[in-house]
Amino acid sequence: MGISEETWLVTGGAGFIGSNFIRHALNVRDGLRIRCLDKLTYAGNLRNLEGLDKQYGDRYQFVRGCITDTTIVSGAMTGVDRVVHFAAESHVDRSIVDAGAFIETNVKGTLVLLNAARSQGVRRFVQVSTDEVYGTLGDEGAFTEDTPLAANSPYSASKAGADLLARAFFHTHQLDVVITRCSNNYGRYQFPEKLIPLMITNALEGKPLPVYGKGLNVRDWIHVHDHCDGVLLACENGKAGEVYNFGGRAEKKNIEVVQTILRLLKKPESLIRYVEDRKGHDWRYAIDCQKSERELNWKRKYSFESGLAETVSWYLENESWWREVKSGEYQNFYKNYYGEL
Ligand code: NAD
Ligand code: TYD
């Protein structure tokens, strides 16, 4: 059976990366059917998936539900060939305040999905993970797929737990599992609690831009489209039991990112506020993604400069989208976390 006759279950498809993935996969794989399973937490937004039902008809289906609910999961997985698992609590700062939901969704939810995939005989399970499971780097070096797991935040610990469960299902139950680990994504539909969209939208609102510590921590930035392309290739051509890293080869200090955003928006640097550092703040992430380039023939399309400029334009053109998501529950988190900035 070719991909064009398959049905994939995409969990967390109403979030940032999941929605970009669904749009990308439906666009580039004729005939592929995608069922999205999403609880619609504060981070899930049906506007991210708007228009897909009209554009793709019965090739696209949405199911609202929680991945920890065995009945919902078993129903959603019926007739599914592959599972691409994005659903997660994904924000490090929230995991510092309260890790409970991270364990529930990221660890327990992944177990429920793995059990269902096993009992329903799905062909492949893709565990979408993060470079943060490898811990932190000093000023030199990069994470490879063989770097030992050394998660430092409750978020990354919960993702590492999920990755190890996925690995265990491959070894113990011969479930066909592929794990992907990616660096920091940016692009359209990213919830404005993460660095890049928070800085863009705060600057547009004329609000202060909270920079942790001295702004010298380093992240590697990848455009969400390039990540989605990597997940698609890993899902189709990855080898069972293997891990594939994806990164942007775009290491930047946080302050450089913030300054670039202000320049693109023609806003003053006086908006920057250095605030108390994040607890346990990982110093630097960098990814060696040669294995994915070599074995999956994966190639990035975006430079950081072109990707960031495109992303800033998207937020400029989609003000109603970000104003709506910023006006909800997020306001409570912002007040509690950042105080009177
Ligand atoms: P996000 O927070 O934007 O979206 C998460 C989605 O999962 C939301 O739609 C939410 O409603 C859904 N969800 C949460 N709990 C659920 C539950 N219990 N049941 C069903 N749905 C639930 O996250 P994102 O940034 O799109 O990240 C997606 C995945 O990619 C995560 O697994 C994350 O760990 C991983 N990842 C993210 C990045 C990044 O830079 N954002 C980098 C590497 C890996
Ligand atoms: P974030 O987007 O939360 O991603 P992650 O913690 O998963 O890497 O943060 C990216 C970097 O930006 C990280 O070093 C923390 C920093 N940061 C700030 O300086 N201020 C902020 O308000 C936020 C949200 C992040």
Mutate to test the pocket of ligand 2, among 17, 95, 190, 195 (most ligand atoms within 8 A of CB): 195
Atom 10 in ligand 1: residue holding the nearest Cα: 44
Q: What is the DSSP letter of 240?
A: T
Alpha helix locations (H) across 187-329?
195-205, 224-237, 254-265, 290-295, 304-317, 319-327
Give pLDDT, residue 330: 82
Atom 41 in ligand 1: residue holding the nearest Cα: 185
User: Which ligand has an atom closest to residue 325 CA?
Assistant: 1
Residue 161 belongs to what H/E stretch? Answer: helix 154-173
> In whole angstroms, what is the distance from residue 275 CA to residue 341 CA?
9
End-to-end CA distance of the chain: 56
Q: Which string of b and e fits 201-233 if b means at least 16 CB within 10 Å?
A: bbbbeeeebbbbeebebbbbbbbbbbbbbbbbb
Give pLDDT, residue 332: 86
Give pLDDT, residue 331: 85
Give pLDDT, residue 4: 79
| Strand 33-38 versus strand 60-64 pairing type | parallel
Of 155, 186, 302, 315, catalytic: 155
Distance 319 CA to ligand 2 centre (A): 22
Distance 195 CA to ligand 2 centre (A): 5
User: Which ligand has an atom closest to residue 13 CA?
Assistant: 1
- The residue extents of the domains of the chain are 3-186+224-247+280-302
Mutate to test the pocket of ligand 2, among 95, 152, 183, 194 (most ligand atoms within 8 A of CB): 194
User: Which ligand has an atom closest to residue 221 CA?
Assistant: 1
CATH number (3.40.50.720, 3.40.1160.10, 3.40.50.10190, 3.40.720.10) of 3-186+224-247+280-302 reads 3.40.50.720
Asked whether the beta carbons of 55 and 61 are under 8 A apart, the reply is no
Distance 293 CA to ligand 2 centre (A): 27
Query: Ligand 2 pocket: which residues have CB below 6 Å?
Result: 92, 184, 194-195, 198, 210-212, 217, 219, 254, 278
SS3 12: coil
> In whole angstroms, what is the distance from residue 262 CA to residue 268 CA?
7
Mutate to test the pocket of ligand 1, among 41, 180, 193, 231 (most ligand atoms within 8 A of CB): 41
Mean pLDDT per 10-residue interval, the chain, length 341 residues: 89 98 98 98 97 98 98 98 99 98 98 98 98 98 98 98 98 98 98 98 98 98 98 98 98 98 98 98 98 98 98 98 90 87 77
Of ligand 2's listed atoms, the one at least distance from the Cα of 132 is: 7
Of ligand 2's listed atoms, the one at least distance from the Cα of 257 is: 12
Residue 132 annotated to the active site? yes
Residue 131 annotated to the active site? yes
Of 6, 132, 163, 288, catalytic: 132
Atom 12 in ligand 1: residue holding the nearest Cα: 12
Q: Provide the edge-to-edge strand list for the sheet that holds 218-223.
A: 184-186, 218-223, 251-253
Give pLDDT, residue 301: 97
Give pLDDT, residue 3: 82
Report yes or no on whether pTM surpasses 0.75: yes
Q: What is the DSSP letter of 108?
A: I
Of ligand 1's listed atoms, the one at least distance from the Cα of 14 is: 9
